Amino acid sequence: MDILKNRIREIPDWPEKGVSFKDITPLLMHPPAFQMAVDRLVDEFDAASIDKVAAIDARGFLIGALVAYFLDAGLVLVRKQGKLPPPTIAESYELEYGQNTLEIRKDSVLPEERVLVVDDVLATGGTAAATAELIRKAGGLVAGFGFLLELSDLNGRHKLQGEHIVSLLLY
């Protein structure tokens, strides 16, 4: 997995002190790494009968769209509040300071559809857990979570308990 890890740039104390930002853009710029990351996620969920991939705004879109394409699944955009036309379903969650709200189009997930959640980074898990809640509110089933990388110390996995979680790299 060195080919992937070598293409993740770590930026200490950005965007604020104490945060080590994981920049995935070098990976996106390197075809063998980008292809390997997408292929690995597709392989992990190939047998999971995924109907839709829910890709999280904004870096999740870049990976999620490709995973959806290769899984022969539909793509659902999980967007920050106010970006999607109505009718939408919303879910708010707590951040360290304040809160954030995510939305999906109400008709983007059908009852019983099996949905895979994709994002670049699993940190505290709030974003992925809120996305799972949106899928359930729409009547869908959360079939799993796929991330490029996971920040293990933040224990985001704990918020997603019981689900199939795949992180290609652990930090």
Interface with ligand AMP by CB under 6 A: which residues? 19-22, 56, 59, 119-128, 151, 156
Burial of 61-71, coded b for 16+ CB within 10 Å and e otherwise, reads: bbbbebbbeeb
Quote the tokens at residue 13: 């104390």
Q: How far is the CB of 129 from ligand AMP (least distance, A)?
A: 8
Helix runs in the chain, H state only: 2-5, 25-28, 31-45, 59-71, 126-137
User: Active-site residue among 9, 16, 59, 114?
Assistant: 59
| Cβ closest to ligand AMP, residue 126 vs residue 140 | 126
Which residue is catalytic, options 10, 44, 94, 96?
96
Q: Which is nearer to ligand AMP, 27 or 123 (CB)?
A: 123
In angstroms, the CA 67 to CA 118 distance is 8
Active site residue 16: no
Least CB distance to ligand AMP at residue 71 (A): 20
The answer to whether the bond into 87 is cis (omega within 30° of 0) is: yes
The CA distance from 53 to 61, in Å, is: 10
CB of 144 to ligand AMP, least distance (A): 16
Q: How far is the CB of 123 from ligand AMP (least distance, A)?
A: 3
Instruction: Report the residue number, 10 or 46, with the smaller CB distance to ligand AMP.
Output: 10
Question: Which residue in the block uniquely carries the two structure tokens 């990388």?
Answer: 149
| 103 has catalytic annotation | no
Point out the residues that are catalytic: 59, 96
